[in-house]
Amino acid sequence: MDTMTTLSEILNKLNKEGYTEDFNLKGSGLEGPGNLIRVYPGEFRVDRHYRFKGISNPDDEAVVYAISSLKFKVKGTLVNGYGISSDAATDELLKALEVKKT
């Protein structure tokens, strides 16, 4: 059982597993490594995700996505708020992603 409870603990764990790039939403895709590549749905997938609930403040709610792209041979993370602080464009983009089946 995974006992990590903070966003930074999960990001550190994923970094050690090779998810070293910080992806950001850009238009209809994600921008990665130094803004040198842009990946679109179908070119990457969500390997895992973690949700965090704000204990005292709903603005602290977030989800971390562990993302990989075989095409670009890159792994990284995307952090998005959810609930009140959700970025609607990111949510739409993530719905189009291929989710890894376990």
DSSP conformation letters of 2-51: ----SHHHHHHHHHHTT--EE-EEETTEEE-GGG--EE-TTS-EEEEEEE
Low-confidence ranges of the chain (pLDDT < 70): 1-4, 54-60, 83-92, 94-102
- Tell me, what's the pLDDT at 92? 65
Report pLDDT for 67: 93
Query: What are the sequence ranges of the domains in the chain?
Result: 7-99
Confidence at residue 98, expressed as pLDDT on a 0 to 100 scale? 47
Tell me, what's the pLDDT at 96?
60
Q: Write down the pLDDT at residue 66.
A: 94
- Residue 97: predicted pLDDT: 58
How many angstroms from the chain centroid is the CA of residue 10?
11
Length of the chain: 102
> How far apart are alpha carbons 62 and 91 in whole angstroms?
12
Six token digits for residue 78: 């995307």
User: What are the b/e assignments for 6-32, b being 16+ CB within 10 Å?
Assistant: eeeebbeebeeeebebebebeeebbbb
Looking at residue 1, what is its pLDDT? 38
Residue 41 confidence (pLDDT): 83
